[in-house]
């Protein structure tokens, strides 16, 4: 009885050690490698250098510069919620 337990314990110890070895090999040197297509990624064209599509909707934007809005205090924010 004692001899069979030792065999089972050794069996599981070997199985766990092999499992760790396989995991270490898998993560350090995976067999599947991602193929590089060799073409570098290009950025999207800048709006300055593109033309409007035919039949587009005209948009009139104001020529005023943007201004910062002063931040509200916490008291006025709480008053707006109530």
pLDDT over threshold 90, residue 82:
no
Instruction: Using a cut of 0.75, tell me whether the model's pTM lies above it.
Output: no
> pLDDT over 90 for what percent of the chain?
11
Q: How many residues does the chain have?
A: 82
82 inside domain: no
| Structural domain for 1, as ranges | 1-29
pLDDT over threshold 80, residue 47:
no
Query: Per the structure, how many domains does the chain have?
Result: 1
53 inside domain: no
Q: How many Cα neighbours within 13 Å face the side chain of 12?
A: 5
Q: Looking at residue 1, what is its pLDDT? A: 53
Instruction: Give dist(CA 23, CA 12) in Å, integer.
Output: 16
Segment 44-72 mean pLDDT: 77
């Amino acid at each position: 009885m004692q001899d069979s337990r030792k065999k089972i314990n050794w069996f599981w110890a070997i199985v766990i050690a092999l499992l760790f070895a396989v995991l270490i090999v898998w993560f350090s040197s995976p067999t599947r490698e991602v193929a590089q297509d060799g073409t570098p990624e290009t950025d999207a064209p800048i709006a300055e250098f593109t033309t409007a599509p035919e039949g587009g909707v005209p948009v009139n934007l104001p020529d005023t510069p943007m201004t910062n809005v002063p931040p509200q205090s916490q008291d006025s924010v709480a008053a707006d919620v109530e």
